[in-house]
Amino acid sequence: MSATYFKYIILGGGVAAGYAAREFASLGLCPGELAIISKEAVAPYERPALSKAYLFPEGAARLPGFHTCVGSGGERLPPEWYGEKGIELILNTLIVKVDLAQKTLESSSGNIFKCGTLIIATGATFIKLTDFGVQGADAKGIYYLREIDDADALIEGIHEKPGGKAVIVGGGYIGLELAADLIINKLDVTMVYPEPWCMPRLFTAEIAAFYEGYYQSKGVKIVKGTVATGFESDASGHVNLVKLKDGRELSADIVVVGVGARPLVSLFKGQLEEEKGGIKVDSFFQTSVSGVYAVGDVATFPLKLYNENRRVEHVDHARKSAIQAVQHIKATEEGKSIPEYDYLPYFYSRSFDLSWQFYGDNVGDSVVFGQTDPSVPKAKFGAYWIKDEKVVGAFLENGTPDENKAIAKVARLQPTVESKEALCASGLDFASKIT
């Protein structure tokens, strides 16, 4: 079969693809030059909406309302926009084979695509309990969440079991956001996670105590320090029981699993350099293969601020890395150069009426300031992380846009501190005085 040629192909149709397409269009693109190939059935959208407003029982977010690039306050790009710009959206197309040297891609139905420049934006997928051989984990009624189809399946599951018992496996941000969604949907929700507190990769014990207290006040039950080791099902194969390692058993009508993600890099194995589980790129998101870029969740990139290579699964980075790669492609064509990527890690989450933002690095000592009593309405509190007497990370719950900007500045500038006590006492004032 002959190959369909495009000057540029973006493999993957998620967040990074949407922002890359917008950047291509703004820097100048001729009709027919760019194709986005995605196994999803819809144009790029803001993925974080899936574990937030998409699952609300009323006033839920629906496409086309959250196509990229609305998530960062930009223009929403519905499917028609791609047509108007002459960008080919090749949807429902799973790429199963890639030859990076030839820049050819083969789909599951045997179609061949070829390009001059390839941007890999395949993102990540959820880790499944069946991957660890957890007994009964393939039962009906056990859900995961990455794509819109997963969210639709979960909504159907919620509708099938009104008022039922839901068990959330995993205490990360996906588990926390989903627990909130399911309580709002009037399910009886229990969270199970092995760690001593939720979000252990970011939260300190004190921060976590606030969120756990708040969730419990909303009716979420929390079982910590143990894991799901097996599931039982009814005669129709639908899950009805979660067995825990500590011997306890939880009845369940629905199980939702959020135990982490893994980057989708297997298509490229042996064809390019990898590092830290991702595709190794330089500051312009070029891989070790000429004319091949990798952006978003799959890229392990130089994080200039910390002088080390990292891979991050944050939507802000997916957007910015995509823009950086496209700017580099276009600048190179014009014989120009662009500045290196200089990313400040930024991550956020929202659930119930809570909303937090985190900037920088959560290493070293930490101090918490403000109101951490979850029974206080609209409590505002934060934390700083201090390494080598410098503030390297900052967290804020319930911050205003200006306050969030101020903590971002702290994490970027890394001011020195006199003492932990002084920092704790000055709290947000410390951030607002940084210029």
Ligand X SMILES: Cc1cc2nc3c(=O)[nH]c(=O)nc-3n(C[C@H](O)[C@H](O)[C@H](O)COP(=O)(O)OP(=O)(O)OC[C@H]3O[C@@H](n4cnc5c(N)ncnc54)[C@H](O)[C@@H]3O)c2cc1C
Choice from 22, 67, 146, 311 touching ligand X (CB under 6 A): 146
315 binds ligand X (CB under 6 A): yes
13 binds ligand X (CB under 6 A): yes
Choice from 21, 29, 43, 50 touching ligand X (CB under 6 A): 50
Choice from 53, 209, 250, 264 touching ligand X (CB under 6 A): 264
148 binds ligand X (CB under 6 A): no
Tell me how far CA of residue 351 lies from CA of 63, 167, 259, in angstroms.
20, 17, 18
For residue 254, with 0-12 CB atoms within 10 Å meaning exposed, 13-18 middle and 19 or more buried, which class applies? buried
Choice from 55, 95, 179, 367 touching ligand X (CB under 6 A): 95
48 binds ligand X (CB under 6 A): yes
Instruction: Measure the N-to-C terminal CA separation of the chain; round to a whole number of Å.
Output: 60
Rounded to the nearest whole angstrom, what is the least distance from the CB of residue 220 to ligand X in the complex?
18
Choice from 6, 8, 9, 16 touching ligand X (CB under 6 A): 16
Q: What angle do CA 79, 122, 41 make, to 5 degrees?
A: 35
Choice from 47, 103, 311, 320 touching ligand X (CB under 6 A): 47
Ramachandran angles phi, psi of 430, nearest 5°: -55, -45
Give the count of beta carbons closer than 10 Å to the beta carbon of residue 234: 12
Cα–Cα distance, 31 to 256 (Å, whole number):
43
Rounded to the nearest whole angstrom, what is the least distance from the CB of residue 99 to ligand X in the complex?
14
When CB distances to ligand X are compared, the closest residue is: 14
Binding span for ligand X by CB under 6 A among 59-67, 75-83, 140-148, 274-282: 140-148
Smaller CB separation from ligand X, 40 or 253: 40
347 binds ligand X (CB under 6 A): yes
Measured over the CA atoms of residue 52, residue 58, residue 64 and residue 70, the dihedral's sign is negative
168 binds ligand X (CB under 6 A): no
Cα–Cα distance, 201 to 199 (Å, whole number):
6
Binding span for ligand X by CB under 6 A among 22-30, 78-86, 279-287, 312-320: 312-320
362 binds ligand X (CB under 6 A): no
Choice from 6, 8, 9, 14 touching ligand X (CB under 6 A): 14
393 binds ligand X (CB under 6 A): no
Choice from 12, 360, 382, 427 touching ligand X (CB under 6 A): 12
391 binds ligand X (CB under 6 A): no
Q: Is residue 6 within a helix (H) or strand (E), and if so which, with residue range?
A: strand 4-11
* 271 CB-near residues (< 8 Å, 6+ apart): 98, 99, 100, 101, 289
Smaller CB separation from ligand X, 13 or 141: 13
Smaller CB separation from ligand X, 148 or 423: 148
H helices then E strands: how many in the chain? 9, 26
Choice from 39, 103, 280, 328 touching ligand X (CB under 6 A): 39
Choice from 136, 296, 345, 360 touching ligand X (CB under 6 A): 296
361 binds ligand X (CB under 6 A): no
Kindly state the number of chain residues that form the binding site for ligand X, as judged by CB under 6 A.
36
40 binds ligand X (CB under 6 A): yes
70 binds ligand X (CB under 6 A): no
Choice from 313, 380, 403, 426 touching ligand X (CB under 6 A): 313
DSSP 218-282: TT-EEEES--EEEEEE-TTSBEEEEEETTS-EEE-SEEEE---EEE--GGGTTTS-EETTEEE--
Region label for 389, one of left (φ > 0), alpha (ψ between -120 and 50) or beta (otherwise): left
Cα–Cα distance, 203 to 197 (Å, whole number):
8
Rg (CA), the chain: 23
Please state at what angle helix 315-333 crosses helix 15-27, rounded to 10 degrees: 30
Q: What is the binding site for ligand X (CB under 6 A)?
A: 12-17, 37-40, 47-48, 50-51, 94-95, 121-124, 145-147, 174, 264, 267, 296-297, 313-316, 318, 347-349
